[in-house]
Amino acid sequence: MTKPASRLRLLITLSLVGVLFTIGVILVGAWTRLVDAGLGCPDWPGCYGRLVVPDADRALSHSPDVPLESFKAWIEMIHRYVASTLGLLVIALVLLGMPLRRRAGYPWGVSLALLAVILLQGAFGAFTVTLKLWPQVVTLHLLGGLSVMLMFLWLHLRLRRFASVEAPASPRRALTPLWGLAMVLLLLQLALGGWVSSNYAGIACQGFPTCNGQWWPATDWSEGFHLTQTVGPNYLHGQLHADARTAIHFGHRLGALALGLGLLLLAWRHWHERRLRPWLGALLGAYAVQLGVGVANVLLWLPLWLALLHTAGAVALVVLMALAVWVWREPVAHGERRQRAEKEWAHA
């Protein structure tokens, strides 16, 4: 029987592995989308009815209307394999945590919520293929991946706090409206980024800071943000006309501006807090880098490596925002009890 302390250390390690592994899955998913491999396999969960990519003859007999492109099919299946491994990791965390679930302060609810979200994310992965890259599903799939990563991170932080505090934690500070505004602006910008990607609007605005040579370009907002698009057409390379894609891209630029102002306001309000200052500085730095990468993507016509770096920047913003929120909410003085608590766990 594994001792509680050993089990807890394993859970802490696995939750951190989950954070890092999810980041890898998100980047593999972005790579899959950027090389147009999202429909490399026309069915789900297999590929042309197989668990591994078949040869051309077997693929032709399964789906005569969808010729096999081995490179794209393998990219899509690699994405599915790593995502499935992530699901197994979540199940392991739930099973390992069951003996500790009745202990006060153990984040059992977070573990179950993570399991629910990973199952939902798997469903969105299936819908991405079966609905042929319908932009709504693709965008939700991206947000779902970020949600899984965020929940792994939150579980890791909660497990560490559970291991280091021998008594119920002191009351934590509630989030203020300013924190709420910053988080909502980040969420909206992430959703806009997913909408840009899923509608292939990454270079709909040419040039910077102007868009297609204008400060306020010709746009079709109603079509660009029409969320009840027809289900059924193949959305590979998009279905929207130029002005609709311009509206999406331009909206993403406006969202970036709003997010930057929100983060600056948040930093200005809390810069006096010494323990929070490094996280706010990192958050502003990550935003500045992300802004620069976004501009470079436009000017350089969306090279693959730079587009992947832009996705990584979105991940960094989510992680840093979560850590900043965690530091803000945590009581200032509970670390002094850590050594005594760890000794108690070691002898449990």
pLDDT for position 281: 98
Which are the contacts of 140, defined by CB distance < 8 A and separation ≥ 6?
A: 124, 194
Q: List the chain pLDDT tens, one digit each, 348 residues.
A: 457 789 999 999 999 999 999 999 999 999 999 999 999 999 999 999 999 999 999 999 999 999 999 999 999 999 999 999 999 999 999 999 999 999 988 999 999 999 999 999 999 999 999 999 999 999 999 999 999 999 999 999 999 999 986 544 567 889 999 999 999 999 999 999 999 999 999 999 999 999 999 999 999 999 999 988 888 789 999 999 999 999 999 999 999 999 999 999 999 999 999 999 999 999 999 999 999 999 999 999 999 999 999 999 999 999 999 999 999 998 765 444 454 455 555 555
Question: Catalytic residue positions?
Answer: 76
CA distances from 284 to 63, 266, 315 (A): 49, 10, 14
The reported pLDDT for the residue numbered 228 is: 85
Position 339 scores a pLDDT of 47
Instruction: Delimit the domains of the chain by residue range.
Output: 1-172+331-348, 173-329
Q: What is the pTM of this model?
A: 0.92
